[in-house]
Each structure stands twice: as C-alpha cells, then as structure tokens.
C-alpha cells in the first residue's frame, strides 16, 4: 500500500480480503487458536513460526488495524495496546529498565507526566523534563550516559505547543537514542513524525483515530530506522539473547524493521497483557476509515473558532498553532500544513471562576475529560486532568489556571461559534 496517498490508505490499508472473504475486517472474538500438533504450537512459542495462540499477546483483528496504522505512519511494524497509557509505557519500558534515564518534553499529557514522574520512577527509571522550546544546548545538557530515549508530543495536550521534531531527532541521534513521538493530536493525516526523523510513534487511539468516543485504546508504530545494533551495550534487550524466549536475539531474528515491536509483543504483552480487545480494534478501524475527512473538518472548525476568539473581548489569550499570530505558526506550517487539529485553548477574562461559568453555559459543547471527538467538548485541566500538579508543575507543563481546552468537533463552525459567543456573554455578566 506504500505508494497510495494517505486518504486511500485510511480506507484500504491493513486488511485485504481474498476471494470470497468478508469485505469488512472480521472480529476474531476468540481467546485462543487451534493447532493440529504440539510441534506446530511449539514453533510459535519459540518465535520460529508466526501465528496466533492466545489473544493476551496477539489477535488477527488487532493486527489488521495495527498494519493499517503502520502504513499510515510510514512505519515497518505496529501493535495495538489497551490504552494510550499502555502504549507510552511499553514504548519506554521496551528499551529502558531500572537504573536507566529518559529525557522528555515537559509539555505532555497529564497522564503521561504522572506515568513517567511517579509510577515509572518507582520502577527505577529516572526522567528529566525539558521545555519543548529548549535550545539544542539545553536539551543536550539533560542527557546522561544511561539515557535511553527522548520523548515528546507532536502537538502537546493540553498546552498545544508544537515540537520541533527534526531538531529533537537530531539531538537524540547524536546521543545514540531514539526519538519517541506521541502523535495523538496530529494523527498521521496531519503529521507523520518519521518523515522528520522520529524513530517510534505512539498513539492514544482513544482520540481522533477512533474519533467517536467509543473505545479506549493505544498503538505503537516502529519506523524500523533506528539501528539498535550500533549501541548493543545501551540496548541489550534488543541486541543480546532473550533467555525468556529460548535465547532469541530480536535484532538478529527480526531485523531492524521488526525487532522493537516483536520484543514488545513477546515480552511486554506476554507479561502485562495490556492488549486492545478485538471488538475495540474493529471500532477503531471504522474510525480510521474517515480519519482524513474528519481531520480536515476538525482543523477547519478550530481555525474558525480560534479566529473568533482572537478578537473577542472576553478572552485574554488564545493558543492555536494554525493562527498566523501564534508563535508556533512557523513550526505548524512545517510539520502540519494541512491543519493544526481541532483543539484550541484559551483563557477567559476573569480567570478560573469565569472559565467555569463559561463552560456551564455552553449548550453544544459538553464538559468531558475526553478530547478529539466528533462531538465538541471542553475541559478545565487545572481542576480535572492536571489537578495532581503543583502550580509550578502546571506552569512547566504550559497549563495556566484559566486555561480552557476546547475540542472542536465536526459540527457546523457557525453553530459552534454562536454557542461560544452566548456562553462568553454570560461568563462576563
Ligand atoms: C489521552 C492521551 C494519552 C493517554 O491515552 P489513553 O488512551 O487515555 O490511555 C496519551 N497521550 C496523549 C497525547 C493523550 O491525549
């Protein structure tokens, strides 16, 4: 499928039925798979033959969808996880363990920040957070001999800052580590981080990829480009025999194109089992079939809303990288010229209380922790997703107390603007 344009891939990649087979992806609702002989099954356990044996590790429905996502991102292999949290955990834990260190952008999703700074820290992995706007020198200063990866979000949730992927990739590669990009907000329709040097991409498929708020899920895609074998001491898990899998060396057996995802499946799915249900993978695929159409409308609506907010007297500031006045506009033009996704953030005059009053008066937009949905929704992060953070941490994550995250759906833009206008009038009373 690699020569087709992204719109065609959204529809056609992944599952390709043979003569007489179902046109739509079959939901393989089976925990297990049957074999004629124990020898046949033994080969699967030794990773000598590919095939399915237990849905805790792999399922054909998931693999059709993972293959489509890998094709959309321009990667060589992919896997679905039960959530975006699981995807980011696996992506890091696949190459870092107790005693290691990771450098991450400070402007990341609150759940990811917690995962890194609290839970993974308890596992002995240290994180250093740096501003996405850090200079190369500042970024370099965060690296240590035991650093195993650099991590950031294409468009940060909820700060909406844009990561200079190419620059971050260069610094990562100079230090012999991969750049892992959470591409949830941009989606492969708006931005494909591998084209700018990123090595691994993760997703919360819960957001735009599903697009209809119907299933929590995640994905990891490998570009197949990072040469682990150049740094065997840094990445022993990929470059030396895995005793828990009969001495297989992933890079030798599966090549650069397959090593990372095979290891994550064989070890992490086996031991943690955070797999997406085949039913949810089916729903995810339905969402992806309209991704290109939806992302265009999401981005159009968000730009219209941002333009309206920019001149509205009840608003103190607007953040949307698609606005020519936005400091991130040049980066957005470089990385996602087709649009800056549907999420706009802004401050309501009067601070925290005015923001809450504004949200209470919205009629179309509903208050949800969810984001990136066909239905418009909004959130006050300081009192919800980011409430575990101190003021200083909020500041570092680019989240001010008056910030409203407004996720434009694919309704009519004029209707959305009229709804915002009436709610702002009431908030200012
Ligand atoms: C929502 C989100 C996550 C976490 O994904 P879940 O599917 O909710 O586990 C990770 N990264 C980003 C950028 C997100 O928006």
Question: Ligand 1, atom 6: nearest CA belongs to which residue?
Answer: 84
Q: How confident is the model at residue 24 (pLDDT cuts 50, 70, 90)?
A: very high
Q: Is the CB of 157 under 6 A from ligand 1?
A: yes
Question: Ligand 1, atom 8: nearest CA belongs to which residue?
Answer: 84
Residue 105, SS3?
strand
Q: What is the dihedral of CA 129, 135, 138, 141, to 10 degrees?
A: 100
Q: Which tens digits make up the pLDDT trace of 162-214?
A: 999 999 999 999 999 999 999 999 999 999 999 999 999 999 999 999 999 99
**Element (DSSP H or E) covering residue 64:** helix 60-73
pTM given for the model: 0.96
Q: What is the pLDDT of residue 1?
A: 59
Q: What is the pLDDT of residue 409?
A: 98
Q: Is the CB of 187 under 6 A from ligand 1?
A: no
pLDDT at 14 over 80: yes
Mutate to test the pocket of ligand 1, among 83, 108, 206, 379 (most ligand atoms within 8 A of CB): 206
Query: In whole angstroms, what is the distance from residue 94 CA to residue 221 CA?
Result: 13
**Looking at residues 20-33, what average pLDDT do you find?**
97
The DSSP annotation for 202-260 comes to EEETTTTTT-SS----EEEEE-S---GGG-TTT-HHHHS-BGGGTTB-HHHHHHHHHHH
Whether 146 contacts 413, CB under 8 Å = no
Query: In whole angstroms, what is the distance from residue 417 CA to residue 422 CA?
Result: 9
Q: Can you tell me which residue has the tokens 């043979």?
A: 18
Q: Is the CB of 152 under 6 A from ligand 1?
A: no
How far from each other are the two terminal CA atoms of the chain, in whole angstroms? 56
**Element (DSSP H or E) covering residue 43:** helix 38-45
Q: Which residues pair with 149 in a beta bridge?
A: 102
Q: Is the CB of 274 under 6 A from ligand 1?
A: no
Whether 358 contacts 404, CB under 8 Å = yes
- CA 252 to mean position of chain CA atoms: 28
Burial of 360 (0-12, 13-18, 19+ CB in 10 A): exposed
Q: Which tens digits make up the pLDDT trace of 88-99?
A: 999 999 999 999
Q: Which tens digits make up the pLDDT trace of 336-390?
A: 999 999 999 999 998 888 888 999 999 999 999 899 999 999 998 877 877 777 7
Query: In whole angstroms, what is the distance from residue 89 CA to residue 104 CA?
Result: 13
Phi, psi for residue 344 in degrees, rounded to 5: -120, 140
Q: Is the CB of 104 under 6 A from ligand 1?
A: no
Q: Comparing 40-54, 128-142, 286-300, 340-354, which segment has the lowest mean pLDDT?
A: 40-54
Alpha carbon of 414 to ligand 1 centroid (Å): 29
Q: Based on C-alpha coordinates, what's the Rg of the chain? A: 22
């Amino acid at each position: 499928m690699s020569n087709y344009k992204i719109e065609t891939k959204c529809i056609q990649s992944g599952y390709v039925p043979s003569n007489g087979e179902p046109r739509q992806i079959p939901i393989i609702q089976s925990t297990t798979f049957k074999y004629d002989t124990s020898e046949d099954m033994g080969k699967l356990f030794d990773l000598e033959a590919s095939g399915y044996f237990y849905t805790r590790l792999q399922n054909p429905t998931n693999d059709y969808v993972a293959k489509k996502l890998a094709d959309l991102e321009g990667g060589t292999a992919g896997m679905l996880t039960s959530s975006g949290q699981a995807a980011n955990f696996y992506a890091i834990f696949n190459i870092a363990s107790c005693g290691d260190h990771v450098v991450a952008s400070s402007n990341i999703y609150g759940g990811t920040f917690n995962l890194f700074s609290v839970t993974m820290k308890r596992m002995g992995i240290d994180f250093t957070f740096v501003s996405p706007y850090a200079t190369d020198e500042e970024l370099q200063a965060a690296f240590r001999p035991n650093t195993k990866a650099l991590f950031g979000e294409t468009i940060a949730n909820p700060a909406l800052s844009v990561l200079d992927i190419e620059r971050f990739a260069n610094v990562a590669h100079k230090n012999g580590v991969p750049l892992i990009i959470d591409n949830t907000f941009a989606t492969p329709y708006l931005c494909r981080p591998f084209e700018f040097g990123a090595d691994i991409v993760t997703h919360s498929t819960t957001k735009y990829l599903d697009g209809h708020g119907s299933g929590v899920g995640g994905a990891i895609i490998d570009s197949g480009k990072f040469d682990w074998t150049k740094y065997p001491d840094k990445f022993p898990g990929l470059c030396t025999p895995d005793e828990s899998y009969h001495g297989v060396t992933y890079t030798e057996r599966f090549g650069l194109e397959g090593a990372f995802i095979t290891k994550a499946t064989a070890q992490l799915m086996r031991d943690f089992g955070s797999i997406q249900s085949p039913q949810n993978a089916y729903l995810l695929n339905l969402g992806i079939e309209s991704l290109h159409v939806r992302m265009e409308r999401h981005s159009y609506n968000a730009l219209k809303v941002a333009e309206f907010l920019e001149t509205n007297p009840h608003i103190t500031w607007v953040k949307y990288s698609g606005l020519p006045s936005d400091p991130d506009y040049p980066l957005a033009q470089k990385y996602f010229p087709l649009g800056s996704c549907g999420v706009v953030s802004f401050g309501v005059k009067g601070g925290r209380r005015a923001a809450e009053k504004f949200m209470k008066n919205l009629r179309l937009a509903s208050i949800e922790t969810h984001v990136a949905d066909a239905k418009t929704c909004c959130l006050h992060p300081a009192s919800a997703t980011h409430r575990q953070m101190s003021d200083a941490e909020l500041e570092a994550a680019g989240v001010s107390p008056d910030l409203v995250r407004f996720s434009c759906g694919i309704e009519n833009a004029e209707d959305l603007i009229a709804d915002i206008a009436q709610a702002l009038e009431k908030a200012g009373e």
